Amino acid sequence: MSFTVPPAARSWIAVDADSHFPIQNLPFGMKGDGTLVTRVGDTLVSLPALAAEGLLPGQPGRYASLESLARSGGSAALSEVRRALYELIEASSPRLRDDAALREAACSPADDLHMALPMRPGAFLDFYSGIHHASNVGRMFRPEQPPLLPNYRHLPVGYNGRASSVVPSGVPVRRPKGQTKAPDADGPAFGPSRELDFELEMGFYLAEGCELGESIAVADAERHMAGMVIVNDWSARDVQRWEYQPLGPFLSKSFLTSVSPWLVTLDALEPFRVAGMAQEPEPLPHLRRGGDQIFDIRLEVRLQSARMTAPVTICTSNTKHLYWSMAQQLAHQTSNGTNVQVGDLYASGTISGEDEGTFGSLLELTWRGQSPIRLEETFEEREFLEDGDVVTMTAYALGDGFRVGFGEVTALVLPAKE
């Protein structure tokens, strides 16, 4: 049971034309005090307050968290609640609009808001589904070989990350320490990473899992998804370069992963489906896409140094550059019979375009530090991130007269601990 708000719909709650949160969005988020809310313009609407008045379907207890709402009926429960919310805040609906006491109890401004994670993941997985990023990395580190490894076009490459270090937007990232080895050194050294980097990614949370021994088919995978978020999966490139062979990332990735506060449902993103790039060779039957499983979502990265007065955009990209869809990622993850659970978080991998300025990491934007980017306001240069830098990512899909957005995920870089 899906529900997509009509494009022409409007709310009695004021919404700016460039807001990420028109009535067509109705995302889910958790305030820092543990209240499940949706957002319309710059107004938060409390789901427990509405449920206590019998204005939302089901018992009030299901609105204790987004996890509890998902467990009460999967993605269909989220669709059902979004429909009820729409009926309450649509422009002609008087029930909440004209009840001043209820409106005061349920609605609050989003100013200076502290938000928690939409869902606290029990598991975190990071894929490598941006083909242009994978190709760029291959050209940098394996110049004498084909840029993509032989398996890349046959399966969604990924690894299991660390859920305990997934944090909400606004939590600073402390420069990690690790082993690194300079090309001319006899052995490794331990200390702060000199090549701290961001990774522009999108992710999805699960609203429904599967039991051990079961698999989720590509055609059924989206039904298991609660919705999407922005993910900055920070990376220590110098640590990664030394540690990743033969088993892949470990300490270079596990120190922090930042997630945006608003979970945007696939219902809200339905109008922005696109076919995606052709997959050649055709994947094996259990991984073949059916229909349009890629979304047209615009992505942006802004950087502000400690000396700057305002951030500057250093990257723009789009989820259309993903080679493997979310449905294929989940189908691949469960194809061996592993069990997955409500709240599990999956990240796409770095999403880069084909041209300079669309690369989703400093590794690519500076081409491994060989071509530093210039910050015009202060004439600073960046090969990789420095202490005091603030990285902000944003994402939105552009409709006819509205946009469905994710807000921002932002973090300040702190020095390594002594």
| Residues known to be catalytic | 133
Closest CA to 4 of 18, 21, 23: 23
Angle at Cα 306 formed by Cα 170 and Cα 386, nearest 5°? Answer: 80
DSSP string computed for 234-261: -EEHHHHHHH-TTT--SHHHHT-EEE-S
**Residue with tokens 């020095």, as numbered in its chain:** 415
Which residues touch 279 (CB under 8 Å, ≥6 apart)?
A: 153, 289, 323
| 62, 250 Cβ separation under 8 angstroms | no
* 143, 150, 198, 199, 408 from 359: Cα distances, Å: 19, 23, 11, 9, 18
Helices vs. strands in the chain: H and E counts, helices first: 10, 24
Beta bridge partners of 299: 317, 395
Neighbours of 240 (CB within 10 A): 21
Neighbours of 234 (CB within 10 A): 24
Which residues touch 315 (CB under 8 Å, ≥6 apart)?
A: 200, 299, 300, 301, 357, 358, 359, 360, 365
Instruction: Give the tokens for residue 283.
Output: 């994947």
